[in-house]
Structure 1
Amino acid sequence: MKRERVQIAIVVNNFNEYESIGIITMEDLLEQLVGQIYDEQDEVGQVQEINAYTW
């Protein structure tokens, strides 16, 4: 993905390369490595959890 500068890819089955099983984005991959990434497209809610009993 990085070499071709592609932001989205189709995930295919290991045993049948013609069977697609989903899609993944570069943001999905990065979030798995470093945690949630917030950008201008993400909405931030008005209510945030501080702990189990406080919002």
Structure 2
Amino acid sequence: MAGLAVPTWDPQTALLIGAILFEAIVLYVGYGGLERLVGPRLMELLVGGDSGVGQ
């Protein structure tokens, strides 16, 4: 039966995929935190005081 064979994994390939996923998670969390920290102040600076961001 074709298509039922389980593919074998190369350990280096699995390590590379794991490293890429870990990097993506770190960047997602890091940029999310940075946006929460700097975002409101930056928007107030760019848009102006009447934007309602700081309220």
Q: Give the alignment's TM-score, normalised by structure 1.
A: 0.30
Higher helix share: 2
Higher strand share: 1
Decide which structure has the larger Cα Rg and report it: 2
Q: Give the alignment's TM-score, normalised by structure 2.
A: 0.30
